[in-house]
Amino acid sequence: MKYEYLIFNIIVLSGPLMLSFDNKVHYYTRWIDVLKSITIPLLIFISWDIIVTDRHWWFNDTYVMTTRILKLPPGEWLFFITVPFSTLFVWDVLHAYFNNHYFKKSNFQNYIAVALLLLSIPSALVGKEYTAIVLFFLSIVFILDGHLKTRIFSRSLTYYYIMIIALLMLIFNGYLTSRPVVLYDYSYQLNWKIFTIPMEDFLYGFSHLLLCTLIYEKIKMRKHE
């Protein structure tokens, strides 16, 4: 069915949208900040998507509309709005209902950023472009967390957040790849999979959603300055 990707986005959005009025979370009061947080990552990742579509991956016309906006079906554009909107809801729920602890300051995230950057180089040299790009972008997220002083990687709740995102990716990305709504040229990646999901898709999702989270936290910090 050609509208499956659109329905997918509606399902992803529906739960957080309906639960936005929870008395403790009050997510609806932050919708404007959420949209601001989504915008810059959307522009970055949509541009990436446009450049590599029909090379690294492409869309199965059986399950998406044949209409294309800069090579991407409408469902793909919505993906970069509905998914971060929903994951930032999870972020706020965790902080509203559970205790958060900050770890002592350390340079561990700088070491991770350097390791990711170093791993991206041989990946690029052997033609694994998708692998190299996601490693590079994820390293930038770690660097930005230190630069922006958001310290999300020093928070205990962040690691529960990452586990929840991973679980949601197993469900929703698993649907996209097993149907398959999205098809890949595996010559551009390592072809290491978790079920039907390329390992690179997890790194792509983490780099996108954690970047949205960094910006979201920075916006909140500025409001309290």
For 104-152, the DSSP string reads PP-SHHHHHHHHHHHHHHHHHHTT-HHHHHHHHHHHHHHHHHHHHT--G
Taking residue 113's Cβ as centre, other Cβ atoms within 10 Å add up to 20
- Whole-angstrom Cα Rg for the chain: 18
205-224 pLDDT, tens per residue?
A: 999 999 999 999 999 988 87
Selection from 179, 177, 181 nearest residue 189 by Cα: 177
Q: Is the separation of the CB atoms in 46 and 72 below 8 Å?
A: yes
Burial of 98 (0-12, 13-18, 19+ CB in 10 A): exposed
pLDDT tens track of the chain, all 225 residues? Answer: 788 898 999 999 999 999 999 899 999 999 999 999 999 999 999 999 999 999 999 999 999 989 999 999 999 999 999 999 999 999 999 999 999 998 887 778 889 999 999 999 999 999 999 999 999 999 999 999 999 999 999 999 999 999 999 999 999 999 999 999 999 999 999 999 999 999 999 999 999 999 999 999 999 988 876
- Type and span of the H or E element at 213: helix 199-223
**Rounded to an integer, what distance in angstroms lies between the CA atom of residue 204 and that of residue 210?**
10
pTM: predicted TM-score of the whole model, two decimal places = 0.94
Domain ranges of the chain: 4-223
